[in-house]
Structure 1
Amino acid sequence: MNGELSNGLAALGTSGNRIINSATGEPIMLRGVNRSGLEYAGPDEQGFLSGASLSRFEIEFIVREWRCNIIRLPFNQDFVLRGRLGRSGEEYQQAIDQVIYWASLFGAYTLLDLQWLDADRVYGGNRNFVAPLPNIESLELWTTLARRYQDEPAVLYDLFNEPHDRLDDDPFPLNKEDGTTYALDQMTVTMKEWQPWALKLIQAVRNESPDALVFVGGTNWAYDLHGMPMDVENLVYSTHVYPNKGRNWPEAFGNLSQSKPVFVGEFGGSDTPGDLEFVRALMRYTQELEIGWTAWSWSNEPFLVTRYIPTAFGETVRQGLSGA
């Protein structure tokens, strides 16, 4: 793309425990929101963006009105590689291109998040479509996208949404990075199972884009970064923090942030007083540790806005974004 999607945004890298402007060395604090939708919404007659109700106006509103300098964009592996409902994978990739362009036009980076592998198969029951580990096509996926965006500094890479133990009703085995599977009775996903995958996915990206800024999640639905870091340069370690995980934040991710860049790729809560207090406490903690974040989610529960009007949770996040 030769930088045409990035609108002059600086390339990012890491130094010590900070994300930096690669050219100047200046620390960069990335804070924003998740914009869910493209990981599950099929195209309508106007295409994938319309099917996900994604517009230029909305991206401008997120960046300018909410002061976000990063949008985490969940997407679907199968849609990238094969398309959906008569629309090609190239058309889906062009939809992603458009979001990247809009976001950078207004001043925000796009963090591409491999959220779903396949919207047609059910992972873990009727409502959980997040696979416990990637599959062999995930290597092809990241090769495809890293090649496409190798000259686009506005694009950042979140390798795999939420590594986690298999659920009791998950009919699929755990995939190994060599294309085989673990024993059918294996349910647990630890760093032993996840880190070999992470290394292979990092390599797939870096083979096409050597300087890409890559985000790697933890285990236990990305929450637990205990067992990191890995011996790889230019990585950001991403945690997902929700009330059901408790508040052992130093052990899960805070301690690591003293030496390596840590990012909260997802956090959320309801509008109940307890959840709002949890979110405020988390935001204070990330502020103290100089950790960036993207709140979940602009368009999916727990909602940040309803018809562009902040929920109570959303208003708490908006204040954090504005520095209030």
Structure 2
Amino acid sequence: MRIAIANDMFMAVEVLRRAVVKIPGYKLAWVAYDGAEAVSKCAADTPDLILMDVLMPSMDGVEATRHIMRQSPCAIVMVTASVNRYAAKIFEAMGYGALDAINTPILGDDGLLNKIATIARLIGKSSYRRSPPVHHSKSLPPLIVIGASTGGPQALKTILCQFPQDFPAAVVIVQHIDAQFVQGFAAWLNEQIPLPMQLAIAGSTPQPGKVLLAGTNLHLVMRSDLTFGYDKEPLHFFYRPSIDVFFKSVAKNWTGKGVGALLTGMGGDGAQGLKQLREAGWHTIAQDCKTCVVYGMPKVAVELKAAVEVLPIEAIASVCIQFTAKC
């Protein structure tokens, strides 16, 4: 995998360079000492991954990420002295397409190498060879997909808090929330639920015992190879990401068993998708009127006969647990 470094600090460049060349199969593509130089070099020689400093002269890493993802897109990991201190800039860069962020490593720190290895697998540039995955219904974990809007954060917390640490199902959530707030929302939930939670990254797949959250203002979709992707189409959908778009893609492509749940929110996003999940043999749930902050999306789902069950928010998790125990 060819990796580039964009950083104005010579010491940081040297630490990053040593980390890159340490592992067989990784090669240093080039080094840029400001954002403008990174944009220019990426256009001429696009690497597989850029380790992009957040703060640089001439053009910072956020603006460089915006230009690169428009002109010559590639995987970008933001590198900074303090992820927490510069969280706003990192969230902005992620909105432009950066995949992740990490504190500037010190010599001997394997955190960066682990991060690079994860990105390598996601973009198909792993340094070791694996046989292509074969997806059979019996080998797939149970999948739980949840859509939520107004009032969704507390509703999701109520459900996710009840799932045990050894929960065998994979969980994927689409919450109507702007991309600039989604990382903070994921962190807030992560502190309160037993299962690990992270943003769904393009190219990744549902994993048992993990919660994934749609992470951009594009539509999260499941591809035919059961990996996730982000799509700007359909452009006319008011909600981005759309629950309907995601639910319909899952109904079309997931060959295993699953539960679909549509929670509180205004409008009707997710109702048609929930109906397609039911028609595909899924167990489908709509949150009831009494426990919804806004009884909009679940109401439309009920009217469409998209829900097998209509349940109060407190009862949804137990149904999911019972369902997965039978799979």
Normalised by the size of structure 2, how large is the TM-score?
0.31
Higher relative contact order at CA 8 Å, sep ≥6: structure 1 or structure 2?
A: 1
Q: Which has the larger radius of gyration?
A: 2
